[in-house]
Chain A
Amino acid sequence: MKINNPRIWLWLAAAIVVLNGFFPALWIFMTSIKGEAELTRIPITYWPENPTLQNYVQAFREQPLARYFLNSLVVAGFSTLLCVGVASLAAYALARLHVPRRNLILSLLVGVSMFPVASLMVPLYQIFVELGLRNTYLALILPHAALSLPVATLTLVSFFAGIPRDLESAAMVDGSTRLGALWHVVVPLAAPGVFTAAILAFVNSWDEFLLASTLLPAKAMRTLPVGIQLYQGEYVFPWPLISAALVVALVPVALVIAVFQERVVGGLTQGGVKG
C-alpha cells in the first residue's frame, strides 16, 4: 500500500468510510437544528428550513445535561481503567504463560456475556442494595467493568500472542522482571490493542442503559443514556430535542477518541516497532 497510489482512490476510500459512519450522525445533527413540524414534511427535508439552536438551549434547560455528562465520564472512565487493567493481566497470562485448563477458563470468561443482562437484573440489584452501594458510582463501575471484561481480555490475548517473544526475552535479559517486561515492552507494542480494548470498554459503559437506570436511578447520579430518555413523554418522542442531547453526548467524546487515537496511539506504535 504505497503512497504513490492515485489520490482519487484514497479519497474514494475516505469518502466511503466517512459517509457510512457519518450519515446517521449527520442526520441527528440536522434534526437537532430543525423544528418538530419539519419531521413530517412531504417530501422529506434534508436541510433544515429554519435552522435553530433552540433545541440545544431547551435540552440544557430541561435536564442537567452537564451533570449527566460528568456522571457518565466518571463511570465510563473508571470502569474502563479497571476493566483494561484487569484484562491486561489476565490476557498476558492466557497468551504467554502455561495456564492449566486454558480453554475452560476462556469459556467461563466469555460464557458470562452469553446471558441476557435483563434476566440477571433482579439478583444483581439485590447484591448492590445489600451492600448499600445503590446510587453510588461503584454500583455501576463494577458491573460495567465486568461487562466489558470478556471482550477486552480476548482482544488483548490476540494482541499479546502476536508480539514476538524475542523482544520480551531481550527485555528480561536486560534485567526487567516479567511484569516490568509486560509494561515496558509488551504494552507499548500492543498499544493499538490496549487502546481498542479501552475504546470498547469505554463506549460500552458510555451507552449502557439497563444497568445504569436500575442501579443509579437518583437524579444527581443519572448517566447520559438514562438522562436523555427523560426528554420523552408517555406518548411523545421529541426527536429534535433528543437529537440535540445526543449530539452533546456523543460528538465531543467521539472526537477526543479519534484524535487521541491518531496522535497518541499512533506515536506509541511507531515507537514500539522502532524500539
Chain B
Amino acid sequence: MSERALAIWLLLPAGLLLGFVALYPVVRLIYTSFFQFQLTLGPEGSFIGLANYAAAFEDPRFWNALKNTVLIVLITVPGALLVGLLLALLANLPFRVKWPVRLGLLLPWALPLVFVGLIFQWFFDSQYGVVNDWIMRLGGERQFWLFKPDLAFIAICFTIIWKTSSFVALILLAGLQTIPKELYEAAQVDGASRWQSFWRITLPLLTPAILVAMIFRTITAFQTFDIPYAMTKGGPGNATETLAMYVRVTSIENLNFGYGSALAVLLFLLSMVITVIYLRYIRGADD
C-alpha cells in the first residue's frame, strides 16, 4: 500500500464520523442563514440572500456581543494558558503519591460547566458569597460582583480561567511527561540553571502541546455560553452577553432561525480566521 493510500484509509473513519454527524447540520445551518425564517412570523421562510448578514452589521446588540466575546478570548486564553502551564509544572514535580495532585488538576475540568457557573455565581454573590466574605474579613468593602458591568466581567473571566486552566494543564502535563529526564540531567551537568532548562528544554519541547491547548482554548472561548449564562444571564443590561448567548436567544427563545443561523456562521468565520493562523504552526511530516 502506498503511503498516500494508507493515509486515506487512516483518515477515512474520522471523515465518516464527522460527515455523518456534522455535514448535514452544518450545510443546513449555512443554507438557513440566507433565509428570512422566523417562526413567530409564520412557519415558512423566504430567500433573502445576504440580508441577515447585512442586518447583523447594523445590529448594536451583535457588535456588543462580539466585543464581549473577543474580550473574553483575549483575556481568558492567555490567562488559562499561563495558569494551566503553572499548574502543570507544579503537578509534574516528583511527588511520591501523585493522585491527589492529579485529582486537583482534574476536578475543575470534571465539574460540568453549568454547575461551575452556578457555583461561582454563589461565590461571587454579594451577600452569601465566599469572595466578599474573605474581602470583608480582610477589612475590604463589600463588592457587587454580579451586577456592576466591569466587576461582572472580571468575575466571569476569573471563572472561565479557573475552569479551563484545568483543561490546559491536563494537555501540558501529558506533554511534560514525555520529555525525557535525561535531557534535564545532561543540562544540569552542563551547568545550566533551572530557569535556563525551562527556556531551552521544557518550553521548546512543550510547544506542540501548548499550540493544541491554545487552539482549543481559543475555539471554546469563542463559544463561551454556560458560565456567563449561569452567572449573569448576560447582564446587567447586555454587558456580559456573548455571541453564543445571542445566537441561542435568537434561535431558541425568539425562534428567529434565519438570523440566528447567520450569527452562528459569523461566529464560525471569526474563530476560523484565528485558528487557521495557529494551524500553520502545527508540526507534521511536511515540515
Contacts and interface: CB of A to CB of B under 8 A. Distances in A.
Mutual binders A and B: yes
A20 interface: yes
A102 B276 contact: no
B103 A107 contact: no
Q: Is the interface of A mostly helix, strand, loop or mixed?
A: helix
Interface stretch (A56-64, A93-101, A167-175): A93-101
B169 to A, nearest CB: 9
Given A120-B22, A123-B28, A189-B178, A257 B282 contact: no
Interface residues of A, number: 107
Given A17-B91, A118-B248, A157-B284, A124 B21 contact: yes
A24 B170 contact: no
A21 B105 contact: yes
B31 to A, nearest CB: 10
Nearest to A147: B21
Contacts of B275: 107, 110-111, 114
B285 A118 contact: no
Interface stretch (B51-59, B70-78, B216-224, B232-240): B216-224
Given A3-B94, A116-B264, A24 B116 contact: yes
A146 B285 contact: no
Contacts of B10: 89-90, 92-93, 97
Interface in A13-64: 13-14, 16-22, 24-25, 27-28, 39-44
B24 A123 contact: yes
B21 A143 contact: yes
B11 A90 contact: yes
Interface in A65-97: 82, 85-87, 89-90, 92-97
B189 interface: no
Contacts, number: 308
B260 interface: yes
A119 B20 CA distance: 17
The number of chain B residues touching the other chain, given as a range, is: 35 or more
Nearest to B257: A122
B186 interface: no
Contacts of B188: 2
A14 B212 contact: no
Nearest to B114: A209
A149 B175 contact: no
A103 B280 contact: yes
B244 A255 contact: no
Nearest to A27: B119
A142 interface: yes
Contacts of B114: 209, 225, 229
Interface stretch (B41-49, B126-134, B143-151): B126-134
A103 B277 CA distance: 11
A251 to B, nearest CB: 9
A21 B104 contact: yes
Given A21-B166, A103-B280, A111 B104 contact: no
A127 interface: yes
A129 B102 CA distance: 41
A206 interface: yes
Contact of B11 (A99, A145, A195, A200): A99
Contacts of A103: 276, 279-280
Given A18-B104, A90-B10, A254-B107, A161 B208 contact: yes
B19 to A, nearest CB: 9
Contacts of A184: none
Nearest to A257: B106
Given A43-B133, A87-B14, A123-B29, A102 B286 contact: yes
Contacts of B158: none
A145 B29 contact: no
A190 B4 CA distance: 23
Contact of A262 (B102, B122, B178): B102
Given A99-B285, A118-B252, A154-B216, A112 B174 contact: no
A112 B171 CA distance: 21
A254 B107 CA distance: 7
Given A24-B108, A95-B284, A103-B280, A115 B7 contact: no
Contact of A17 (B20, B87, B170): B87
Given A109-B14, A149-B18, A253 B247 contact: no
Given A17-B90, A115-B29, A25 B14 contact: no
Sort A-B residue pairs by CB-CB distance and give the 9 closest, nearest first.
A21-B104, A158-B208, A93-B10, A119-B264, A192-B174, A120-B25, A146-B21, A90-B14, A196-B174
Given A17-B91, A28-B111, A114-B275, 5 more contacts: A1-B93, A14-B93, A20-B108, A162-B175, A242-B115
22 contacts: A1-B93, A10-B94, A17-B90, A21-B166, A28-B115, A97-B4, A97-B7, A98-B4, A99-B11, A99-B285, A115-B29, A115-B267, A127-B25, A146-B17, A149-B14, A158-B283, A162-B205, A189-B178, A203-B109, A206-B110, A254-B106, A254-B107
